Structure 1
Amino acid sequence: MLATLLVSAAQAQDANLPELSDASSAGATLEKEHELGRLWLKAFRSRTQEYPDPETQQYVEQLIYRLLVHSELKDRRLEIAVVDNPTMNAFAVPGGVVGVHNGLFNFAESEHQLASVLAHELAHLSQRHFARGLQERKKNSVTAMAGLLAGLVLAATSKGDAGIAALTASQALSQDQQLRYSRQNEQEADRIGIETLHKAGLDPNGAPRMFERMQHASRFSGQRVPEFLRTHPLTEKRISDTQLRANDYDPKEYEDNLDYHLIRARILLHFEGNASRAAKRFRSQLKGTDGTPPQAAQYGLVLALIAGEKLTEARQELNKLQKQGSNQLYKLAELDLLLAQGNNEEVIRLARKQLLLYPNNHALKIKLATAYTKAKKFQLANQQLTQLSRQRPTDPQVWYQLAEVRGLAGDIVGLHRARAEYFILVGAFNMARDQLNHAAKLSRHDFQQSAIINEKLIQLAALEKQIEKL
């Protein structure tokens, strides 16, 4: 396992490794952090499950980049992972890796509250709290990153139950030492995070309100403290301090972004796991029992009906929703309904039309590729996803879908190459090498293809050596 490699290699006395706490050159240190963070992400992905929902991924990315523009973070090359886990957690790893559990949407009541958590994590990155902590404790960066991996993998794979007991004593010690921020770090991240919220046009009061939500959740969690609070200790004084900081800004009315509640409905359906039960829940929400915006409850009902294959009723409910206003997520839901009905040509027509208006919409591009595939237009699907892989070269889900499409299109060498890219991104290096070797055998008479594949094998070997050093 990569985590084992991280821990054992960290003990090697002759390892020539990047040090996060090396202050000899700020630029070089940031570059080393970037490199180490990308390696860490591959190790993390090899042991956890991401949430493969392009609508949610797109929403989270857009919100984080909105905050990033107004943050103090100098190196703005981010990798954003949405972890499929119902617990309340978010994290930032040196080198620009930001992780969000989709379960966080279950706790945040508004975009302002969710954004407060993300702004706080960006503040930890911008102030380099992790690296500064290592310097103060004179800790090796690799040992620390191993502890960070162990702790966050545990948080991302447990469901808030007895899974915590499976952690070894050494990993638990690493988690406690490496993940817990100091009170001073937390105060600084609170201050900078609230300022970032304000500059981004979001409500600074989102921070104290989210803290109150977290505190409320912790009171009903028994012995299992929510993961975010294990690593970011919360006190009454801290809540009071953040409220005072938020009060420093002139009071105003902030609109609550409907998109947040629509994405929250998608995640609710996902965690419900049963379309019929989810539909009942959304119908209950439409009665106004829990404060959910009616459009979000209606949207969730549409998705639940599509998932339950009640397509005629889904069309009726979607028509009601679209009469209430226009939203890009409504249009994507319509494409989902048409795909479920097998009306692939209409999806292609509508998706192409929408892409003229929203050329950077990731979820829309995925829908178009799916429609091409279902319509057996495999070459067009291949072209669409190949272009998307160039735009999002570090997105594992794009490479996964591209591999499937290339196989259907008869591009077997391309299939193996796409699979290799996917396996590299999720840290399965042996499987990536197997795919590249298959591609090399099939293209031995194609000089250009062979050269590209051989170069990729060389890069993979170098990457494995870097991982071994970790």
Structure 2
Amino acid sequence: MFRSRVQAHRDPLLQDYLERLLYNLATYSELSRADLQLVLIDNPSMNAFAVPGGVIGFHTGVFTYADNEDQLASVLAHELAHLSLRHFARGVENAENRSKLNMAGLLAAVVLAATAGGDAATAALMTTQAASLQQQLAYSRSNEQEADREGIKTLLRAGRDATQVAAMFENMLKATRYTGSRPPEYLLTHPVTERRVADALNRTGYASSGIGPRRVDSEFDLLRARARANSWPTPQLALDAFRAERDNALPGSAQAQAAEYGIAVMQLQLGDLDAAQRAIATVRHSRPNSATARYTEQEIALAQGDYRGVIAALERQLRADPGHYPAQWLLAEAHWQAGNTATAARLLQQLSRQRPEDPAVWYQLAELRGLAGDIAGVHAARAEYFILIGVFDRAREQLQLALGLLQDDFKRSAVLRQRLLELADYQRRAEQL
């Protein structure tokens, strides 16, 4: 239902990076069951949230506030702590007779914060809190302190620099100190104050000796540039900003390389493929082993029509790393553009089994099945897509259309009938909100 109301950010590279980081942190957390779903939201604001069911919402704007991967990880570790400590769930358990009202309020507040912004979200939050004080959608101060403490422990166990928790808080304070506004309060779960920064510093003081902002061997700075690509009103403004960053950075530095990568991404968006190719070649020269730069190099080559070369390169990569989601996605896209629709559909079918709750996979699969002439398969894939974005009436319609085409196929019909029963249950629960 949340997905149906906000603009998801469909970027396999960023999605995969954050999922890997999240699951790595989860292994060091107190979460007893790491059954998690990450919803990446195309929004430049600094917001993240966690609710029962293992749902983590994450705005692309978080990348803008983080200087390094440990700062980004601190946000995810904090949200994992809320889940492991069951902060929201404990309130629901104490007020079951009002949980339906407040779950609806939760959805409304989250959607407003993801779309309209802070004031509207705060108003929705206050309204919901007034309906039931026992089920506060904003975490209490004690819960925040508890989650900060547990998140710091998770970072330490994961071998990360926990002092970056306070550094991330400082970045958020600097960005809002003189603007007269704060980031939306609910999705940050609690206002970031100077006292909270001091508390985080005190908790990590014992572990900070000899630890500086360590350089993690990751693709963070390139992916940060990629995430920031949609932060400007137009691609041209983004391109100009990345050029200014490159020109002001020390030649050859990590900052200059990240800005050059941002230039390549924006030139690709603007359709200047030769310029994009020159920019990414510069990054590849500096970072020959960068998986992120290699992926974007293939994106550019695909846009230039080098289907055979892209397919060969991606197949080599997948032989070494068979489960790499971005490469699987791009390989299917390359086969599609090359006219190999049956192969592309087969690849996405395999991907749908690995990522059954990824709406983007089902949406693309429906398109490919249509081109391959599998009309019943089109309706079945569309149904899964509509289920995942909470449009249940459309999902039922698609399942019934598929059933009408598969009357003689007992096995596939049985699967679709079972899906109709499950869909009815989903809709009943949704209506109870």
Q: Fold-level match, TM-score > 0.5?
A: yes
Q: Which residue of 2 aligns with 1:452?
A: 415
Taking the aligned partners of 2:345 and 2:364, their CA distance within structure 1 comes to 9
Where do residues 17-166 of structure 1 align in structure 2 (5 Å cutoff)? 43-135=1-93, 140-160=98-118
> How many residue pairs were aligned?
427
Structure 2, unaligned stretches of length 5 or more? Answer: none
Residue 219 (structure 1) shift: 1.9
SS in 2 for 1:399: helix
| TM superposition shift of 1:214 | 1.8
Identity level (%): 44
How far did residue 469 of structure 1 move? 3.1
1:263 corresponding residue in structure 2: 223
Specify whether residues 469 and 91 from structure 1 end up closer, same or farther in structure 2 by C-alpha distance, changes over 3 A only. same
Question: What does residue range 278-317 of structure 1 map to in structure 2 within 5 Å?
Answer: 278-289=238-249, 293-317=255-279
Higher alpha-carbon deviation: 332-341 or 133-142: 133-142
Q: TM-score, normalised by structure 2?
A: 0.92
Trace 1:322-341 onto structure 2 (pairs within 5 A). Answer: 322-325=284-287, 326-341=289-304
CA contact (8 A) 1:88 1:104 kept: yes
Question: Is the contact between residue 429 and residue 464 of structure 1 (CA under 8 Å) also seen in structure 2?
Answer: yes
Does the Cα contact within 8 Å between 2:102 and 2:128 map onto a contact in 1? no
1:320 aligns with 2:282: yes
SS of the residue corresponding to residue 356 of structure 2 reads coil
Contact 1:48 1:157 in 2 (8 A): yes
CA distance in 1 between partners of 2:397 and 2:51 (Å)? 30
Q: Which amino acid aligns with 2:300?
A: L
Higher relative contact order (CA 8 A, sep 6+): 1
Choose 233-242 or 268-277, whichever is displaced more.
268-277
> Which amino acid letter does the alignment assign opposite residue 410 of structure 1?
G
Q: Which moved more, 1:141-150 or 1:353-362?
A: 141-150
User: Secondary structure in 2 aligned to 1:394?
Assistant: coil
Unaligned ranges ≥5, structure 1:
1-42
One-letter identity of the residue aligned with 1:278: A
1:195 to 135, 153, 165: 153
Q: 8 Å contact 2:117–2:184 — kept in the other structure?
A: no
SS of the residue corresponding to residue 29 of structure 2 reads coil
Aligned partner letter, 2:408: H
Q: Secondary structure at the match of 1:140?
A: helix
Retained in 1: the 8 A contact 2:46–2:183?
Answer: no
Kept after mapping to 2: 8 A contact 1:113/1:209? yes
Measure, in 2, the Cα distance between the counterparts of 1:229 and 1:438. Answer: 40
- Displacement of 1:135 after TM fit? 4.5
CA distance in 2, matches of 1:467, 1:422: 17
Compare 384-393 and 211-220 and name the one that shifted more: 211-220
Note the C-alpha offset of 1:183: 1.7
Q: Offset of 1:103 from its aligned partner? A: 1.1
Q: Which residue of 1 aligns with 2:210?
A: 251
Change (3 A) 1:185 1:163: closer
Q: What secondary structure is seen at the aligned counterpart in 2 of 1:287? A: helix
Q: Given the superposition, is the C-alpha separation of residues 61 and 230 from structure 1 closer, same or farther in structure 2, using an over 3 Å criterion?
A: closer
Superposition pairs for residues 375-386 of structure 1, below 5 Å? 375-386=338-349
Partners of 1:419 and 1:379 lie apart in 2 by 18
- Indicate how the Cα distance of structure 1 residues 437 and 55 shifts in structure 2: closer, same or farther if over 3 A, else same: same
Moved more, 285-294 or 67-76: 285-294
Matched-pair contact (CA < 8 Å) for 2:110–2:187: no
Contact 1:286 1:298 in 2 (8 A): yes
Q: Which amino acid aligns with 2:242?
A: F
Could you say what the CA RMSD is over the residues aligned between the two structures, in angstroms? 2.3
| AA in 1 matched with 2:285 | K
